[in-house]
Amino acid sequence: MISLRDLTLNSRCVQVPSVTLYGESFPLAPLTQVELDTFKIQLADILMIPGADERKVMEDRIEQYVYALRSTKNELDNKPQFTGLNPEDTELGFGLIRPQFTHAGVATYKTSWLVPIVALTWSDWLFEAAANPFTIGRDFCLCITHLKSLLSPTPLLSECRFQVGRRGILIPNDTRSLRLADSTNNIAIVAVPTMICKPKSSLYARVKGDAGAGNDEIVLGGLIFGLGRALKEEVPTWTA
């Protein structure tokens, strides 16, 4: 595992020309020293407080975040410069994932992390049409590494599963440990296999509960990389 301190242009995740994840190949664009330094400094700024379990998960996925950044830059023809948290319209930036960068219905941008949970039944969570994925916007990439529940005192989510791209079907994830909030700061958080959803790829997710029905608030933890014109939107307009 590479720490932020150890991340350099000589690190493997910055040097390799491509990676393969869940059967899909991701060509990777190069980063300059300025871009890498910007990523290191500003990621440290947006990570949660020292000792928090979310920070631990995100620090453990540094390499995957670099792959996602480089993949996004490649998908955007290697033209935009990565400038971090406050990019101009045609510059590449990053931040935490907001609900509006996902769909829950035909052209229905999510406005919150609320998700209906049905007891003992699998149901659509992130989708375009029933049982079908939505398409990621053309100007950004989602790198999902963990989930959080904002429902107190007891989260309803018990299991979830994702399909990334055409072949990236993941086995169901057991998320029952969310109920324990077994973390330094008593936060309901669980790590999931890293998913890189590059621009214009597809994402589909399903959820299930054990008992009881109602709305949970399930946050997609990780980072979004994209052009400033997409990241800054208050009202989503992005298209694939």
Mean confidence (pLDDT) of the chain = 94
Q: Residue 48: pLDDT above 90?
A: no
Q: Cβ(207)–Cβ(123) under 8 Å? A: yes
Domain annotation covers residue 68: yes
Domain termination site, one of 93, 127, 157: 93
Domain termination site, one of 93, 119, 153: 93
Based on the fold, state whether residues 152 and 76 are members of the same structural domain. no
Based on the fold, state whether residues 161 and 66 are members of the same structural domain. no
CB contact set of 170 (below 8 Å; sequence gap of 6+): 22, 161, 162, 163, 164, 193, 195
Based on the fold, state whether residues 110 and 169 are members of the same structural domain. yes
What's the number of domains the chain is made of? 2
Residue in the structure block whose two tokens are 């936060």: 187
Residue 50 pLDDT:
62
Based on the fold, state whether residues 121 and 210 are members of the same structural domain. yes
Q: How far is CA 177 from the centre of its chain?
A: 20
Residue 198 pLDDT:
96
Distance, in Å, from the CA atom of 43 to the CA atom of 65, rounded to the nearest integer, reads 10
Mean of pLDDT values over 125-133: 96
Mean of pLDDT values over 121-131: 97
Residue 230 pLDDT:
97
Domain annotation covers residue 236: no
Q: Residue 192: pLDDT above 80?
A: yes
- Rounded to two decimals, the pTM is 0.96
Mean of pLDDT values over 83-97: 97
Mean of pLDDT values over 61-77: 97
Q: Residue 47: pLDDT above 90?
A: no
Distance, in Å, from the CA atom of 198 to the CA atom of 74, rounded to the nearest integer, reads 10
Domain annotation covers residue 7: no
Based on the fold, state whether residues 219 and 175 are members of the same structural domain. yes
Based on the fold, state whether residues 109 and 211 are members of the same structural domain. yes
Based on the fold, state whether residues 115 and 20 are members of the same structural domain. no
Domain annotation covers residue 1: no
Domain termination site, one of 63, 93, 123: 93
Based on the fold, state whether residues 113 and 209 are members of the same structural domain. yes
Based on the fold, state whether residues 182 and 140 are members of the same structural domain. yes
Q: Residue 62: pLDDT above 80?
A: yes
Distance, in Å, from the CA atom of 87 to the CA atom of 226, rounded to the nearest integer, reads 9
Over residues 141-183, the pLDDT tens digits come to 999 999 999 998 999 999 999 999 988 888 999 999 999 887 7
Domain annotation covers residue 237: no
Based on the fold, state whether residues 216 and 167 are members of the same structural domain. yes
Based on the fold, state whether residues 104 and 157 are members of the same structural domain. yes
Based on the fold, state whether residues 211 and 105 are members of the same structural domain. yes
Residue 51 pLDDT:
63
Side-chain-side CA neighbours of residue 202 (13 Å):
14
List the domain range (segments joined by +) for residue 53.
12-93
Percent of the chain at pLDDT exceeding 70:
98
Mean of pLDDT values over 65-92: 96
